[in-house]
Amino acid sequence: MPSSRRRFVRAIAAGGSMSVLTGCASESEESTATPLPEPESNPAPASGDSITVSRDYRDSSKYDYYPDTGEIRRRTGYRKHTNESGTTKEPIYTREPASSWVTRSGGTVAGKAAMQTVRKRLDVESLDNLTQGIGYDDGVRRVMIGYVVWPNRSGETRTPAIEFETLVDAVPATVTTKLQFEETVLSATFHPVVEFRQQYLD
């Protein structure tokens, strides 16, 4: 949006939450918000102990794995049919290569597991101003943990309850997801990064 105010905005893909900037400054309005110094390494590779997380899809009615074609069939909804006998529902499915599905779905699982691990390791109740999602760093699809600070026009800054470096040390350096389908386990390993972001408030 047009504004003289400097803004830092990053897009986070599926599975994450992105805070929304509120308010727009006029073209002539200058911001008095003071940015915080960014960490030397940003985004910073996570350095905590690695974890492995498993999910069991053997009893799932939504997902099926076809080993002959290496595809995942996913139920996306239902199509209704109405006749004199009543209404029936026909499942609607879509298929995709298992390799892309495990990267996308496994990344979502990995991001949630990373945040749960941070909460447990740091023994904190609030993860406010921290976000999780899937993004790209140096062309590689990664779990992205956002460390979001909010300078405002009164000179105050809203920050997470923990320091950036503390978060980097707590987020697992790797998260391996193992997704079980009958005799097949689809596995992917993700290397989370922690990104320092500033978003300005009026």
Percent of the chain with pLDDT over 90: 50
Q: What band does 20 get if pLDDT is binned at 50, 70 and 90?
A: very low
**Contacts of 21 by beta carbon, 8 Å cutoff, 6+ apart:** 7, 9, 199, 200, 201
Q: How far apart are CA 130 and CA 187, in angstroms?
A: 26
196 HSE (CA, 13 A, CB side): 17
> Is the pLDDT at 118 greater than 90, yes or no?
yes
> Is the pLDDT at 147 greater than 70, yes or no?
yes
- Please give the helix or strand (H or E) that residue 110 lies within, else none: helix 98-122
pLDDT in tens, 49-84: 999 999 999 999 999 999 999 999 999 999 999 988
Q: Residue 35: its pLDDT value, please?
A: 61
**Rounded mean pLDDT, 178-183:** 94
